[in-house]
Structure 1
C-alpha cells in the first residue's frame, strides 16, 4: 500500500512540475502520502482477529 501510494504521488509531482510548472515540495509530498495511507487504512473494515486489525496503530507508531 505504501509503495503504490508513493509511486502515485511521485508520478503526480513529476506531472505537476512538467505540465503546470508548479513544484510540490518534499515535505508537502510526505504529508500527501501520509494522509492517503491513513485514509486508506481507515476505509478498510477488518473483522475481529484479522492479521491487519492493528494496522492504523502500527502506521502511527512508524510515522510519529
Structure 2
C-alpha cells in the first residue's frame, strides 16, 4: 500500500497511526456495564408496588437485581 497510503492519509489523517493505549489480554466481562435510561426506570417496578406506595414517597428501586450497575 505504498502510494495509496499517501493519498488515503491525505483525506483520512490518523487512520494508520496507533491511537490510544494498548490493553493486553482484555477480558470483556470486566467492562460489562449496561445502561438504563431514567425514563425506563419505572418499567422495572411492578404495578402492585406502584399502587401500594404512598403518594408522598417514592419506592426505592434496586437496579442490580435487573443486571444494571
TM-score by length of 1: 0.25
**Higher normalized helix content (fraction of residues):** 1
Structure number with bigger Rg? 2
Kindly indicate whether structure 1 or structure 2 has the higher relative contact order, using CA contacts under 8 Å at least 6 residues apart: 2
Query: What TM-score do the two structures reach when normalised by structure 2?
Result: 0.24
